[in-house]
Structure formats: C-alpha cells, structure tokens
Amino acid sequence: MLDPLANIPRAKRGGTAPQTQKQDQMPRIVMKFGGTSVANLDRIRDVAQRVKREVDAGNQVAVVLSAMAGTTNQLVGWCQALAPLHDAREYDTVVATGEQVTTGLLAIALQEIGIEARSWQGWQIPIRTDNAHGKARILSIDGADLIARMGRRQVAVVSGFQGLAPDNRIATLGRGGSDTSAVALAAALKADRCDIYTDVDGIYTTDPRIVPQARKLAKISYEEMLELASVGAKVLQSRSVELAMNERVRVQVLSSFEDKPGTLVVDEDEIVEKEIVSGIAYARDEAKITLRRVADRPGIAATIFGKLAEENINVDMIVQNISADGTTDMTFTIGKTDLPRTHAALLAIREQVGWTDVLEDPNVAKISVVGVGMRSHAGVANTMFRALADKAINIQVISTSEIKVSVLIGAEYTELAVRALHTAYGLDAA
C-alpha cells in the first residue's frame, strides 16, 4: 500500500517545477469538475473535449468528478425524509451514488471521441478513509495501478467525495469533498498540477457581487486561501486547501465554461510580488454573545469555553476586559446555527461562572482583510480602522493573526465596509 500523504518526499511534491520533477515523463495532471460542470449530457461532452485537449497536448490525465448539480442535495433529502437520525453508513451508500453516475458517463463520452478511459469508484482504487461516516478523512490512496495505466495513455475518471472505510463500507468526505479527493489524488499521483474547474473563473480580491471592481488574482498562497476559504469565500473546501498546503500540491481554480487561466494556489515562495492585502472576505454566519459581569478569577474562561467545547460549539473571536469591581464582561462569537445550544450551555454554568445577563446578537458580520505581506508591514490594521471610521461604522470586536485582521460590525454595514476596505487597500481595478 502506497501512502501518498506520508511517503512522498517534500522535495518531490507538486511544489517543485515540473521539469525537475519528471524529466523523462509526460506531465501528469488531475482535472476536477464540479456539479455545474457535469450538470447534463451536453456539459459532460464539453468536459470530455477539455480532457481530450489535455491528452492531445501530451499530458497524463486523471479526472475527478462531482455528482450532477443538485443530485447530492436530493440524495441527502431522501435520507432525511425517511429518518432524521439515519444510519450514517447507509447515508454514505446513498449519497455516494451521484458520482458513480457522472464518472461512468464521462468515461463513455471520452470513449466516444476516441480517448481510452475508465471509471474508478473510491473502493476500487482504493481511496482509504477513516471510519467517520458522512465526514470521513482520506488516509491513503494506492496510486500504483492508476499511474501504470495513465502511462499507457488511459484516462482515469475517479469519483470524488468517496472512499473505502476500515469497516469495508463506502464512506463520504463531507459536502464539497470532491475538491479534497482531487487534491489527495494529485498528491498520490505526484501530479504536476491539480486543476479545479468550477463555475467561477478564479479567486477574486473580494466578492465581485459586492465590489464590481474586484480583480481576479493570478496567484494566491495556500495560507491566504485558507483564511479566505474559512471566512466566507466558498470556492474550495477548506480541507482541500489544508491538504494542498501540507502536500505542496499546486492547485489552479478555473472556469469550466471559458478558456482562460484561473488563479494558482501555491506556496508563498512562488509569489514574487507579495501583496500586503490580497483579499477582503466577509461572513454573516456568526452571532455575538456577551456575558455580563462574569467573576474575574482564574478558571472562569476555562469553564465557559470548556463547556462550549464539550458541546462541540466552535468559538471564533473572544474578548475580555479588565474591571475594577471583580467582575468582567466576556464577549465571543459562535456560528449562528449554534445559538440555541449555546444558550442552553451557558445557562447550565451560570452558577459556576456567576454571570448576570447574557446578550445575544445574531445581527453581525465579520469582515477580514488577508495578506501574507502583513507580516512585514506595519499599519495594516490602522488602515482598516480608519476606513471604517470614515464611513461611521462601529467596530464591536477585533481579532488578528499573522496574516489577517478581522472585525465584527453590524450586519447592515457589510457591503459598505467591504467596498470601503477594497478601495482603502488599493485593490480596485483601474
């Protein structure tokens, strides 16, 4: 068994230039197509033509597919309709079928235009996962057979989103998981690049629906992409970006409907001109909680956030202030959908923590500016605060990391803030 995620030496992974990686071989690429790109037979024929072009250009090609747009939702809905608390292993059996259909169809479409191809389900390769049915992680991929066949110019058409669990049953990777399948396969096959074809043509400086002057980035670093993915720009599944970063897989995000280069997601070293700020993201899915007059003594934060962790409630931003009278206010943010459970958890520890009131505000937005150039530049946060002040937008909570500054503001100011910041950091297209 070949463990792609462990035994590919760093230096040999996708991050190195293709020439040095495989001097004597044809370039090897993984092409991944999302649900809208395979939504009907005409689109599947278009995908076949794209694949043919790469094969004709002398590449060894593996393709990873999603289910047709809407299919997985329907399959999930059927499981839920029968039983809200259904057996996760049977859920996986059902929801993995969408990809089986598209891979078989694409193999047929490729054969029709003279390209040798075959479909592969996760269990056939196998793509081994852990036992966490419904949200499994890929543990290893045996790429040997695929590599041999690709060397003989056979195109491998692989089902995304699925693998084989230790219990010998089909497992799926969580919604959006075929991005992760593609990156993992690219690592296992030591591919030169993983092209993710989707319905957007790249990664933008911010959401173009809010800022029409947003620019498409030619390159973005893994770390920036992770920050942008987790704060609201939902182009790639976050886990796929983490994997690409760890395995040094070069990822390209590009449109399956147009012929133009997309955005390369690569190692920071590959980016010569480092932007101080590369992008502005927003998220409206958090809620703000304030606990009033919490006892100001050791162990209080541990009690509050320990309880939330126990309940599997993710906490994002946290602020606490000093106070003179032995109490303090504690403010933090959680996912909006966790509000009822958070409320219950806080009531359960009221005695221990001694809070007097709990204030809940779901009407907030988190705005983040992200850029690796921040590491070496001062004043980035200040530009943000000034730009928001000029628009009279009140900042409720601030948090920072090495390459990100985030603020929490009233949700009604989201668009105004994003536009102001896009201009303030000089990101508007000329």
Residues of the shown chain interacting with ligand ASP in the complex, contacts defined by CB under 6 A? 34-35, 66-67, 72, 98, 160-161, 175-179
Q: Which of 339, 283, 294 is nearest to 319 (CA)?
A: 294
Beta bridge partners of 43: none
> Considering CB under 5 A, how many residues would be counted as binding Mg ion?
2
Least distance from ligand ASP to the Cβ atom of residue 394, Å: 37
At its nearest, how many Å lie between Mg ion and the CB of residue 163?
Answer: 17
Instruction: Say whether residue 160 binds Mg ion (CB under 5 A).
Output: no
Q: Measured from the CB of residue 129, what is the shortest distance to ligand ASP in angstroms?
A: 14
Taking the complex as a whole, the smallest distance from the CB of residue 35 to ligand ASP amounts, in Å, to: 5
Contact between residue 418 and residue 398 where contact means Cβ atoms under 8 Å apart: no
- The residue among 163 and 177 lying less far from ligand ASP, judged by its C-beta, is 177
* Residue 92 or 227 with smaller CB distance to ligand ASP: 92
Site stretch for Mg ion (CB under 5 A), options 8-16, 163-171, 172-180, 209-217 = 172-180
How far apart are CB 13 and ligand ASP at their closest, in Å?
23
Burial class (CB in 10 A: 0-12, 13-18, 19+), 185: buried
With CB under 5 to 8 Å by kind, the binding choice for 67 among Mg ion, ligand ASP, none is: ligand ASP
In the chain, what is the greatest distance between 2 CA atoms, to the nearest angstrom? 79
Binds 224, which of Mg ion, ligand ASP, none (CB < 5 to 8 A, cut-off by type)? Answer: none
Look up residue 122 and give its two tokens. 């996760």
**Nearer Cβ to ligand ASP (62/418):** 62
- As measured in angstroms, the least distance from the Cβ of 72 to ligand ASP is 3
Binding mask 25-54 for Mg ion (x = CB under 5 A): ---------x--------------------
Q: Which does 4 bind (CB under 5 to 8 A by kind): ligand ASP, Mg ion, none?
A: none
Q: Long-range CB contacts (< 8 A, 24+ apart) of 234-240?
A: 235/198, 235/200, 235/203, 236/179, 236/196, 236/265, 237/174, 237/176, 237/177, 237/179, 237/180, 239/137, 239/173, 239/174, 239/177, 239/179, 239/180, 240/179, 240/180, 240/182, 240/183
Q: Which of 4, 122, 163, 176 binds Mg ion (CB under 5 A)?
A: 176
What DSSP string runs through 145-174? HHHHHHHTTPEEEEESSEEE-TTSSEEE--
Whole-number minimum distance, CB 198 to ligand ASP, in Å? 10
* Strand partners of residue 164: 128, 170
Q: Which residues of 388-410 are buried (b: 16+ CB within 10 A; e: fewer)?
A: beeeebeebbebeeebbbbbbbe
Taking CB under 5 A as the rule, does residue 98 contact Mg ion? no
Q: Which does 160 bind (CB under 5 to 8 A by kind): ligand ASP, Mg ion, none?
A: ligand ASP
Half-sphere exposure of 303 (CA within 13 A, CB side): 19
CA neighbor of 43 nearest in space, from 21, 18, 68: 68
Q: Which residues are near Mg ion by CB under 5 A?
A: 34, 176
